[in-house]
A and B are shown apart, each in its own frame.
Chain A
């Protein structure tokens, strides 16, 4: 090759082609995905909780997607009644789909585990509930105080499994409350029409929940 510009043109053409195919074209199609009626945007507290989720790096062990039940066991494992679809993630910025399952999938954790007490004691130290867990502990999201110092109306939890000295309880920080609020909001179980249903066929065989 003798001409550097020829090389650079070819190199640019490659990346323009790939970007067109995998970024630009999908971008034009994503506009057709509508927010589902049954899915509300995150409240400010839930949004803050999502920031904490991102900041602590939860995505490196937990995914947030249920794969097609035809060829995986995600649904059989109880992670969701259906595969997740693009409209499920319409309020997620950035996505936290994940590529690793050291821990279980979380997209429907709000359905599986609605108890705030469970979440807080689990986050404080997972081994207080499951001795075999390898999830990190997040004690810095909590204040440890004497149970006697808890005023009425204050939320506090005791922790089992010998992870807290007797007479002590944990009081969640605002970030811990937010994180649990976010986890509890993770429910994507409402039905979505697939391309085969009559409702979808009437709009040209496509579901407004998916991309063409």
Chain B
């Protein structure tokens, strides 16, 4: 079969039996996760657009404060929360659910088990999202950052939904056909164990006062470090070796990176409250744990860099790799930035400023979002059985959000630094503080607009994919640069269906 599809210049092929086995495994895995993953990505893209609109409105309101003030539902404090929640739990988490259910079957060489539960979980999750966002805009926020969605009538949907997806993944892993579990499986499984626990703790209603603050930031930082980060690292650990065709540089380093990440990251939360009314030992624990984060971050960074070493040319050919490597580098940078900002001498100037907001976006956008973009660019063609329609759309997407991030992050960081400098001078008036930050806030709005344009390009492209549009030229994208996956791996794809 293979010989008829490959050009005659091929001399010899790899063992057909192994190839068919491997092919069969991949096809079976993809077929089992197809239903859930496709829907997860569809929800994710919708929330990306919704979250982008909220983000733009909030950003513009900061330098146009009399805009859209007639209605409480659009006040800055509510729209800003709606943006955060739509992006973190809507866009990022839905995309991560999709990536997880696709990747785990592939890595344990068996079909996704109880896939119907995973699908139900996805719907529960998104019902929770709708209720939560409506709750925030209607004024029913729980009042805790990252935990605004109403704890009694929106949050249970996330616990149930995440739990159902986790159940499906755990069942799949239990029925695995591999002897060893790859590092991405550890990260994904850990994320699904950690998330419901921290989410319930964070939302527990009995805390008040400074204890409420400690629990709040215990949860919020762990939402970043024990939910968002592990799944995105799982994606990076999978796609970088996969596309390059070489294994990760040092598996021992990935072991070290995983356990130190869990152990240190989970203690970081109090660094959001440095200088605040908490016992010093709690804050110091988090500052020390933040410093120790250098270990897993360097482990991951070295591992990924050395895998990519002398093969950075791949970035010219693979859009997935472009987004994923961007994200992986951003992970190292944002973590080092975070280590820095956790030291009291630096925190004295950066706390309460836009530097923190910019830092959060380096993490949530440059790392998490870019990795999710890259993952979707790889996974969706394999699930839909068709290639991306247009190389140009991918390129526009990459460059708009790439430049958009710089336009967003640089002015906002500078705004934060001048804000911090002005605040620390007791003789400066608040007018001076506000006027110092204003240019950066306008820059951030421009950057955010560019990002939103990029998101619209991406969403349009995804929409075309779902609709089944055929490539305009009748040729695959990137034909000038020769795609890397052989025809044989797609031998059984027929138009409109997957075997």
Chains A and B touch (C-beta atoms under 8 A apart): yes
CA A77 – CA B194 in complex, angstroms?
Answer: 42
CA A130 – CA B178 in complex, angstroms?
Answer: 67
Per-residue CB contact flags for chain B residues 215-246 toward chain A (1 = under 8 Å, else 0) read 11010001000100000000000000000000
Which of A87-95, A149-157, A177-185 is near enough to bind chain B? A87-95
If the complex has contacts A15-B194, A73-B426, are A134 and B438 also in contact, measured as CB distance less than 8 A? yes
Q: B72 near A: Cβ within 8 Å?
A: yes
Residues of B contacting A60 with CB < 8 Å? 76-77, 80-81, 145
Q: What size tier do the contact residues of chain A reach?
A: 35 or more
Whether B430 pairs with A104 at a CB distance below 8 angstroms is yes
Whether B424 pairs with A73 at a CB distance below 8 angstroms is yes
Residues of A contacting B145 with CB < 8 Å? 59-60, 99
Per-residue CB contact flags for chain A residues 79-111 toward chain B (1 = under 8 Å, else 0) read 000011110111111111111111110000000
Q: B197 near A: Cβ within 8 Å?
A: yes
Which of B263-271, B373-381, B397-405 is near enough to bind chain A? B263-271
Whether B181 pairs with A1 at a CB distance below 8 angstroms is yes
Whether B266 pairs with A15 at a CB distance below 8 angstroms is yes
Residues of B contacting A27 with CB < 8 Å? 211
Give min CB distance, B84 to chain A, whole Å.
9
If the complex has contacts A22-B218, A125-B66, A127-B66, are A72 and B275 also in contact, measured as CB distance less than 8 A? yes
Whether A135 pairs with B65 at a CB distance below 8 angstroms is yes
Residues of B contacting A1 with CB < 8 Å? 180-181, 186
Give min CB distance, B365 to chain A, whole Å.
18
Which of B1-9, B16-24, B134-142 is near enough to bind chain A? B134-142
If the complex has contacts A1-B180, A93-B212, are A14 and B72 also in contact, measured as CB distance less than 8 A? no
CA A142 – CA B41 in complex, angstroms?
Answer: 43
Whether A133 pairs with B65 at a CB distance below 8 angstroms is yes
Residues of A contacting B348 with CB < 8 Å? 71-72
CA A210 – CA B344 in complex, angstroms?
Answer: 21
Whether B212 pairs with A56 at a CB distance below 8 angstroms is no
Give min CB distance, A199 to chain B, whole Å.
19
B72 partner, pick from A83, A95, A100, A140, beta carbons under 8 A: A140
Q: B277 near A: Cβ within 8 Å?
A: yes
Whether A14 pairs with B69 at a CB distance below 8 angstroms is no
Whether A2 pairs with B180 at a CB distance below 8 angstroms is yes
If the complex has contacts A11-B189, A73-B424, are A26 and B80 also in contact, measured as CB distance less than 8 A? no
Whether A134 pairs with B208 at a CB distance below 8 angstroms is no
Residues of B contacting A101 with CB < 8 Å? 352-353, 419, 423
Whether B356 pairs with A89 at a CB distance below 8 angstroms is no
Give min CB distance, A78 to chain B, whole Å.
8
Which B182-225 residues have a C-beta within 8 angstroms of A?
A: 186, 189-190, 193-194, 197-198, 201, 207-216, 218, 222
Q: Smallest CB-CB separation from A88: which chain B residue?
A: B277
Residues of B contacting A72 with CB < 8 Å? 275, 348, 424
CA A130 – CA B431 in complex, angstroms?
Answer: 9
Q: Smallest CB-CB separation from A93: which chain B residue?
A: B208
Q: Smallest CB-CB separation from B144: which chain A residue?
A: A94
Per-residue CB contact flags for chain B residues 318-345 toward chain A (1 = under 8 Å, else 0) read 0000000000000000000000000010
If the complex has contacts A22-B282, A73-B425, A137-B69, are A59 and B143 also in contact, measured as CB distance less than 8 A? yes
Which B245-294 residues have a C-beta within 8 angstroms of A?
A: 259, 262-263, 266-267, 269-270, 272-273, 275-279, 282, 285-286
CA A18 – CA B71 in complex, angstroms?
Answer: 42
Whether B218 pairs with A23 at a CB distance below 8 angstroms is yes
Whether B141 pairs with A92 at a CB distance below 8 angstroms is no
Which B419-434 residues have a C-beta within 8 angstroms of A?
A: 419, 423-426, 430-431, 434
Q: B154 near A: Cβ within 8 Å?
A: no
Residues of A contacting B282 with CB < 8 Å? 22, 26
Q: A166 near B: Cβ within 8 Å?
A: no
> For A55, A73, A85, which residue has the most chain B Cβ atoms within 10 angstroms?
A55
Q: A164 near B: Cβ within 8 Å?
A: no
Q: B357 near A: Cβ within 8 Å?
A: yes
Per-residue CB contact flags for chain A residues 112-140 toward chain B (1 = under 8 Å, else 0) read 00000000000001110010111111111
Per-residue CB contact flags for chain A residues 54-82 toward chain B (1 = under 8 Å, else 0) read 11111111010101100111001110000
Whether B61 pairs with A136 at a CB distance below 8 angstroms is yes
Whether A23 pairs with B279 at a CB distance below 8 angstroms is no
Hey, which bits of chain A sit against chain B, CB under 8 A?
1-2, 4, 7-8, 10-12, 14-15, 17-19, 21-23, 26-27, 29-30, 33, 54-61, 63, 65, 67-68, 71-73, 76-78, 83-86, 88-104, 125-127, 130, 132-140, 210-212
12 A-B contacts, Cβ less than 8 Å apart? A2-B180, A17-B266, A26-B279, A86-B279, A90-B209, A95-B210, A99-B145, A100-B357, A101-B419, A102-B62, A136-B75, A136-B77
- 3 nearest A-B pairs in the assembled complex, by CB-CB distance: A57-B77, A76-B426, A93-B208
